[in-house]
Amino acid sequence: MNPFDVNASIGHWPFQKFDLTTPAALCRHLKKTGIRRALVSCIDSVLYPDPAVFDDILFKTAKAHPMLVPVPTVNPSLSNWRASLRRDSLAAVKIIPNYHRYNLDDPSVAELAGILEKQKIPLLIQMRVDDERNQCPFMKVPGVETEKIIRFARRFPKIPMVCLCPYFGEAIQLAQKTANLHVDISFIETFQTLQTLLKNIPSSRVLFGSHTPFLCAESALMKLSASKIPAKAIEDIALKNAGRIFKL
Amino acid sequence: MKIIDIHAHISLESCRQILLEADRLEISHLCNLVGHLKGISMINATPAHIVAMNNQTMTLVRKHPGRITGFCFLNPLHDRRFLLKEIDRCLVKGNLKGIKLEVDANARSSRLDPILKECARLNLPLLHHAWYKTVGKVFNESTPADIAHLARRHPGVKIIMAHLTAAGIRGILDIQPCPNVFVDTSGSQSFSGIMEYAVEKLGAGRILFGSDISGRDFSVQLGRIHGAKINRREKELILGLNAKKLLGI
Ligand SMILES: [Zn+2]
């Protein structure tokens, strides 16, 4: 089953060399690996001070590629973040609290959540982009803490939220302790990953995410295709949950 | 195509499940480095623990001939006489085929030299843990640069450095000038680009598929190889041909 990918990005990252720097190249790659459609955000928006600059380019260039669903990265600690939401039909909004250095308890995050709730826009929370153990020594960025995400999700129970790149143990905590948090599978790994994961949380809370181009999409695809979970659970993870949450 | 996993941690308890899963993913042979034993940590293991862990591996090899190859786990900080006795017991008289070292001593330590001398004398490969860690580094844990130091001291020993994706670009460059160092594909996440870089700098002949099962998923670990932009021959070498030659199986 060709899945919908909720965790794909495009752009440059100083610690890895990517070929997938244009929407056309990313589309070719996704098609070749068997991914049907993807939520795509801009890698440059992680480190560049104003994410809207690169997001504008993404929204413009992705228009020609219906298989890419652009997602803006919003940094609510900046003065111009409200403008990032003024785009037509947003499938989702992404936040990266650890790289953008704010707390989920901050009033501006609550204001953002209020708008998302009103406009019924789901939220992607990027928990990390790499393995903290291997980070460049002068750029140590710990993952977003699960307890903080759980507290935030409970404050805004009407917003569906998808946490990107949690580890196995974190994913279980996030889904078990809330009703509106979901997880993508990109960083989750243990022996017989999905079988083991679904012993702890229902398939309705798990979504296919590859974290392309940081990670090899084939690892996420094989995690799904080679798993021994029931067909219904595969369908949930590959397509159904994303369809429901992002209305695609 | 015979897929060989050079980096596995199998215990008597987990063996059945792991072999069934390996069958499903068409992994035909596994190299058991050291399996977990209840209540015993791999770090700072006592001589009695080491004996128990190696007994477990020897039992697994006996029970699954042609399916599991076993390595002898050692702690270089132990008394030299014990180390030599354990090598004789497991590798000369026993059925194990190589040595596994973890984080008890750094690879630069002279404590490793008697072990490596035995490797050279008996023509045994050594698999050594390595990682470039920014956080969470275990005291004495080796980096790829430390492995290169060890390899230069013992150029006649084939050393398999664990965890390609944790060695990173710098780690690949560290071991590039040491033709006796190989690297296994396990570690961290399936970061893109690293396999291609390793093939370019080391050649596919120095890279071996390793899963680091049991805390890992065979499918994810295989995905790193299948997803890499390298040719079929290179994938075949990595997935099994190199290990076949190195282990003599
Ligand atoms: Zn290991």
What domain range is A22 assigned to? 4-246
Contact by Cβ (8 Å): B205, B237: yes
Residues surrounding ion ligand 1 at CB below 5 Å:
B 212
Q: What is the mean pLDDT of chain B?
A: 97
Question: Least CA distance to A227: which residue of chain B?
Answer: B219
Q: What average pLDDT does this structure show over A218-233?
A: 97
Question: Least CA distance to B164: which residue of chain A?
Answer: A134
Under the banding of pLDDT at 50, 70 and 90, the label for residue B60 is very high
pLDDT at A226: 95
Chain A contact set for B135 (CB, 8 A) = 132-133, 135, 140
A120 CB-near residues (< 8 Å, 6+ apart): none
Contact by Cβ (8 Å): A78, A50: yes
Q: Would the pLDDT of A248 be above 90?
A: no
pLDDT at B39: 86
Distance (Å) from CA A86 to ligand 1 centroid: 49
pLDDT at B127: 98
Chain B contact set for A25 (CB, 8 A) = none
Domain count, chain B: 1
Nearest to B221, CA basis, from B30, B43, B1: B30
Residues B90 and B71: their CA atoms lie apart, in Å, by 9
Q: What average pLDDT does this structure show over A118-144?
A: 96
Question: Least CA distance to A210: which residue of chain B?
Answer: B190
Q: Would the pLDDT of A103 be above 90?
A: yes
Is residue A134 less than 8 Å (CB to CB) from chain B? yes
A 173-202 → B contacts, CB under 8 A: 187, 189-193
Under the banding of pLDDT at 50, 70 and 90, the label for residue B190 is very high
Q: Would the pLDDT of B6 be above 90?
A: yes
Pairwise CB contact (< 8 Å): A222 & B226: yes
Q: Would the pLDDT of A88 be above 90?
A: no
Chain A contact set for B136 (CB, 8 A) = 132-133
Q: Would the pLDDT of B150 be above 90?
A: yes
Q: What is the DSSP string of B49-97?
A: HHHHHHHHHHHHHHHSTTTEEEEEE--TTS-HHHHHHHHIIIIISSS--
Pairwise CB contact (< 8 Å): B192 & A135: no
Q: What letter does residue A144 receive in the DSSP assignment?
A: P
Distance (Å) from CA A31 to ligand 1 centroid: 34
pLDDT tens sequence across A2-47:
999 999 999 999 999 998 889 999 999 999 999 999 999 999 999 9
pLDDT tens sequence across A178-201:
999 999 999 999 999 999 999 999
What share of chain B has pLDDT > 70, as a percent? 100
Is residue B193 less than 8 Å (CB to CB) from chain A? yes
Distance (Å) from CA B34 to ligand 1 centroid: 8
Pairwise CB contact (< 8 Å): B213 & A17: no
Q: Would the pLDDT of A89 be above 90?
A: no
Contact by Cβ (8 Å): A199, A14: no
Q: How far is A187 from chain B (nearest CA, A)?
A: 7
pLDDT tens sequence across A150-183:
999 999 999 999 999 999 999 999 999 999 999 9
pLDDT at B83: 98
pLDDT tens sequence across B89-147:
999 999 999 999 999 999 999 999 999 999 999 999 999 999 999 999 999 999 999 99
Distance (Å) from CA B132 to ligand 1 centroid: 15
Sign of the C-alpha dihedral, residues A104, A108, A110, A116? negative
Question: Least CA distance to B9: which residue of chain A?
Answer: A191
Residues B50 and A204: their CA atoms lie apart, in Å, by 45
What domain range is B231 assigned to? 3-247
Give the three-state DSSP class for B145. helix
> Length of chain B in residues, anyone?
249
Pairwise CB contact (< 8 Å): B188 & A133: yes
Residue type, B40: I
Q: Would the pLDDT of A1 be above 90?
A: no
CATH number at residue A9: 3.20.20.140
CATH number at residue B165: 3.20.20.140
Under the banding of pLDDT at 50, 70 and 90, the label for residue A247 is very high
CA distances from residue B211 to A237, B65, B106, B198 in whole angstroms, order as listed: 24, 20, 23, 17
Pairwise CB contact (< 8 Å): B223 & A221: yes
CA distances from residue A13 to A70, A214, A218, B113, B175 in whole angstroms, order as listed: 18, 9, 20, 41, 25
B 45-64 → A contacts, CB under 8 A: none
Residues A113 and A120: their CA atoms lie apart, in Å, by 10
Is residue A164 exposed (0-12), middle (13-18) or buried (19+ Cβ within 10 Å)?
A: buried
Under the banding of pLDDT at 50, 70 and 90, the label for residue B1 is confident
Contact by Cβ (8 Å): B223, A34: no
Domain count, chain A: 1
Is residue A32 less than 8 Å (CB to CB) from chain B? no
